[in-house]
Amino acid sequence: MPVYVILWLLNCTRFTHMNQIPTLDITDFERDPDTFTQAFKAAYTEWGFAGITGHNIEPEQIRAAFDAAADFFALPVDIKSKYETDAAGRARGYVPFGTEKAKDAQHADLKEFYHVGRENPAAAHLADNVWPSEIPTFRASFESLFASLDTLAHRVLSVFALSLDLPHDYFESRVDQGEALLRILHYPPITDTEIPNLRAAAHEDINLLTLLVGSEQDGLEVLSRRGDWVPISMIKGTIICNVGDMLQRLTNGMLPSTTHRVVNPQGDKARASRYSIPFFMHPNPDTSLACLPQCVNAENPLRYPPTTASEYLNERLKQIGLIK
């Protein structure tokens, strides 16, 4: 075959299989809700992941949060450990390196993290936050980022509801007392390259939906429907939003909770820290995760038995080592 034909064929495959998660500008929803909801549904049915732009979260707010994170994780481990708590599922405060292991993984992930969660004195299942006094900017930075991501999560949930032929406020009464967790993640420099561990082994997120303030460092990869690992390269400032296992169950798998991982960088890049900040949105504990009837049909028969959000969460947190 002549070289120009091979080049032409290669070019065609490049364009017909766009191998990158889609990006959606959420301000398009206000301009044309129906068209946006259709594009949104198509993106999530195919990928379970999309980048969100037009979200109104200022770059300075994100910068301040990453700076506070770097300052905290640079503290000696005995100081950081003062902020470990006994909140169920380690849902508040510091969680040391080597604690979490992806379901079915053989080795622990290469990360330490800090959980900041929803506070509501009227809801007994939501623990109080703890704040490191050593980093004066920490509390204000993460309270403000939490509030902004919570608002965005509500906007995104209303588009999910519309794309499932539900009223736009369907999820409101199902998440108002629900846990939401900001997970401030630090993947320390890797000094021993012979280790079998990954920064984060392949996993699916347990919750309803995740908003990820993505890292400036490479490493995040998403498993496509075709079975290949797609490195995520995002325009700076994009917030990644992905479906979690709870939304996958509710939609009987119609919206997939896509497997993803964080791979170790090669060469000098391995010697740099990596930071990222996912926000995990959970339903109220008593919310049923039974599949929605409109997602069950002859082509897509019922895949999951009914359960509640709290039952399911407990089972999953045991699998990843966050509950004994």
Ligand X SMILES: O=C(O)CCC(=O)C(=O)O
Q: Binding residues for Fe ion, per CB under 5 A?
A: 205
197 binds ligand X (CB under 6 A): no
CB 202, min distance to ligand X, A? 10
278 binds ligand X (CB under 6 A): yes
CB 206, min distance to ligand X, A? 9
One-character DSSP codes across 197-217: --SEEEE---SSEEEEE--SS
Task: Using CB under 6 A, pick the residue from 262, 291, 309, 322 that binds ligand X.
Answer: 262
Q: Which is nearer to Fe ion, 33 or 98 (CB)?
A: 98
CB 277, min distance to ligand X, A? 8
109 binds ligand X (CB under 6 A): no
Contact of residue 89 among ligand X, Fe ion, none (CB under 5-8 Å per partner type):
none
Point out which span in 45-53, 159-167, 209-217, 296-304 binds ligand X (CB under 6 A).
209-217
Q: What residue type is 116 in one-letter code?
A: V
Cα–Cα nearest to 190, from 261, 262, 267: 267
CB 96, min distance to ligand X, A? 15
Q: What residues does 280 pair with on adjacent strands?
A: 181, 210
Q: Within 10 Å of residue 270's Cβ, how many Cβ atoms?
A: 15
Q: Would strands 23-25 and 49-53 be described as parallel, antiparallel, or unpaired?
A: parallel
Q: Which is nearer to ligand X, 45 or 217 (CB)?
A: 217
Q: Which is nearer to Fe ion, 205 or 221 (CB)?
A: 205
Contact of residue 109 among Fe ion, ligand X, none (CB under 5-8 Å per partner type):
none
Q: Which is nearer to ligand X, 249 or 260 (CB)?
A: 260
Q: Where are the alpha helices (DSSP H) in the chain?
A: 3-16, 27-31, 33-47, 59-73, 77-80, 138-163, 172-175, 245-250, 309-319
Cα–Cα nearest to 58, from 318, 237, 262: 237
Cα–Cα nearest to 150, from 172, 165, 167, 129: 172
102 binds ligand X (CB under 6 A): no
Contact of residue 282 among ligand X, Fe ion, none (CB under 5-8 Å per partner type):
none
200 binds ligand X (CB under 6 A): yes
CB 292, min distance to ligand X, A? 25
238 binds ligand X (CB under 6 A): no
Q: Within 10 Å of residue 42's Cβ, how many Cβ atoms?
A: 13
Give me the helix-helix angle, 138-163 and 59-73, nearest 10°.
Answer: 130
Q: Report the site for ligand X in 163-192 (rule: CB under 6 A).
A: 183, 185
Contact of residue 91 among Fe ion, ligand X, none (CB under 5-8 Å per partner type):
none
Q: Report the site for ligand X in 11-50 (rule: CB under 6 A).
A: none
CB 200, min distance to ligand X, A? 5
**Sign of the dihedral defined by the CA atoms of residues 269, 271, 277, 283, in that order:** positive
One-character DSSP codes across 10-27: HHHHHHHS--S--EEETH
- Tokens representing 8 are 């032409």
Task: Please give the radius of gyration of the chain, using alpha carbons only, rounded to the nearest integer.
Answer: 20
Strand, coil or helix: 203:
strand
Which positions lie near ligand X, rule CB under 6 A?
183, 185, 200, 205, 212, 214-215, 220, 260, 262, 276, 278
